[in-house]
Every structure is written in structure tokens, then in C-alpha cells.
Amino acid sequence: MKLEDIEFLGELPSKYKPSLESLFFFNPKQKLNILKIEKAIDRYGYPRIIVNNGNIKIDLEKSKNCQNLFLVRKDIPVVLGVIIHTRTDKTTAELIHFAVDSYSEGGLSILENMLKEIYRIYGRIKDIEKIKITYINRIMRLNHNG
Amino acid sequence: MTKSEFLSELHEMLEITSIKELTPDTVLKEIEEYDSLFLLTIISIIDEKFGIQLTADQLSTITTLQSLMELIGIEKFE
């Protein structure tokens, strides 16, 4: 798989729903991090899939302004990664939830590509200095060259 | 900080229980706890302890903990 075989989307055509459910809601790796995920749920509410104009996205009960970043395959309806993120104050963005397909194909690292996109999104916002990761309650300073 | 102090701290901060201790030769992807959250934790630890912001591209160059320490700057370890 090459870079031209994938794309970033903010919401998904509904044909991706089974893959999204599988990656985000029924991911067997979640049990390894269940306490960390529960902290995010306590703070931002339960995630759920909502439909908007025929497209789907993930919404959080207590955070109506959260954004979605999906990395998907173009050729088949497979979601490779999802990050639910939001800006929490003037200088901070927060990665509230994320799920990444563990298997990178052809040397393509899904996490690296998603991080680059997150850096690109928030790198355009001058005031954003750091990105908080809710699951681990830790900060990554924003590397605008990253 | 010595290499062994760093590795010991990393072991604790990453909450690794599958192996008793980390060595410079430990291959990250072979650690049972290795996943995307594990990598993000490493990025934040390196930023917090050394003031180094690893880029997404640099992640792919890290194979062993020795390569991580080289990326940080081997001179930072006594």
C-alpha cells in the first residue's frame, strides 16, 4: 500500500461503517488499555456514530465540538485509523480517542501518517503549542516542522 | 542520567510488565505492550525529559532502544 492508496477524511461515507465499528468499538486491543479509555469516557462521554447528510462520524456525549480524523483506504471501505480530537483552550489541542490498525502494509506506518496530519492541522493554528493525549494524560509539544 | 537509569525509568513509565528489564538491544516492536499508545507515550516522555520533540518521520527510524538513545543524543547519557 502506498500513500496514493489512502486518504484523510473528516467524515466517512456510510459504506465504511462496518470497518469503523470494528476498529473503534470492537477492537480486541482495547482491553489492554481499558482503564485509560474509561478516563476519556468519564470526561467526554460515550462515543457514538452519528449520521450527517449520509455520512458518518463519531460524536462524544459531552463534547459537541470534537473533530474526527479518519485515515482510509480508497480502493475498499477500510478504516485504517481514527482520531477524535478537539481544541480545549487557546494553546492546547487534545487527542481524546484514537484507534489505529496495528498492521502497516508496505512500510506505511499508519500512526506516523496520522500524527503528521494532526501536526499539519494544528500547525496551521499559530496559538496551539501542545497536544494533550487524554488516554495517558501526557503532553506532546507541537513540532511545527513535524 | 546513565543509560541504565533511562531504561529503568522508561520501563516504569511505559508500564511494561511483559519483560523484566529493558536493554539497549531491546527491539521496540517485540515488546508485548507495543502499540500506538506506547509510541505516543515515548514521544511525550522524550519531550518531557530531554526537551526533544520527535517528529512523525523520526518514529520510523527507531528500532531498538539504542537507536532511540542515539536519536536523543548518546552524549546525554553518562
Q: Which residues pair with A133 in a beta bridge?
A: A95, A138
A113/A3 Cα distance (integer angstroms) = 9
Q: Tell me, what's the ipTM? A: 0.78
Helical pair B65-72 and B3-13, crossing angle rounded to 10 deg: 110
Residue with cell 462521554: A45
A68/A58 Cα distance (integer angstroms) = 7
Quick check: B40 and A36 CB within 8 A? no
Query: For the stretch A38-54, what's the b/e string if a residue is b when 16 or more beta carbons lie within 10 angstroms of its beta carbon?
Result: eebbeebeebeeeeeee
pLDDT of residue B72: 93
Measured between CA atoms, how close is B64 to chain A, in angstroms? 17
What's the average model confidence in pLDDT over A61-88?
A: 94
pLDDT of residue A145: 57
Quick check: A136 and B60 CB within 8 A? no
Quick check: B60 and A102 CB within 8 A? no
Chain B residue numbers touching A141 (CB-CB < 8 A): 47, 53
A139/A119 Cα distance (integer angstroms) = 13
Beta A138-141 vs A130-133: how paired, if at all? antiparallel
B41/B36 Cα distance (integer angstroms) = 9
Q: Specify the higher pLDDT residue, A56 or A109.
A: A56
pLDDT of residue A133: 93
Measured between CA atoms, how close is A50 to chain B, in angstroms? 26
Measured between CA atoms, how close is A53 to chain B, in angstroms? 32
Quick check: A146 and B40 CB within 8 A? no
Q: Which residues pair with A84 in a beta bridge?
A: A68, A97
Query: Which residue of chain B comes nearest to A97, CA vs CA?
Result: B37
The answer on pLDDT for A49 being more than 90 is yes
A142/A118 Cα distance (integer angstroms) = 10
**Residues ≥6 apart with Cβ < 8 Å to A98:** A81, A82, A83, A84, A114, A135, B36, B37
State the pLDDT confidence band at A103, using cuts at 50, 70 and 90.
low
- For the whole model, what pTM was predicted? 0.87
In the A/B pair of chains, how many CB contacts fall below 8 A?
65
The answer on pLDDT for A105 being more than 70 is no
B6/A138 Cα distance (integer angstroms) = 18
The secondary element (H helix, E strand) that includes residue A63 is none
Residue range B25-41, pLDDT digits in tens? 999 989 998 888 888 89
What 3-state DSSP class applies to A130? strand
Which among B36, B45, B47 is the nearest to A111, CB-wise?
B36
Measured between CA atoms, how close is B46 to chain A, in angstroms? 9
Residue range B50-76, pLDDT digits in tens? 989 887 778 778 899 999 999 999 998
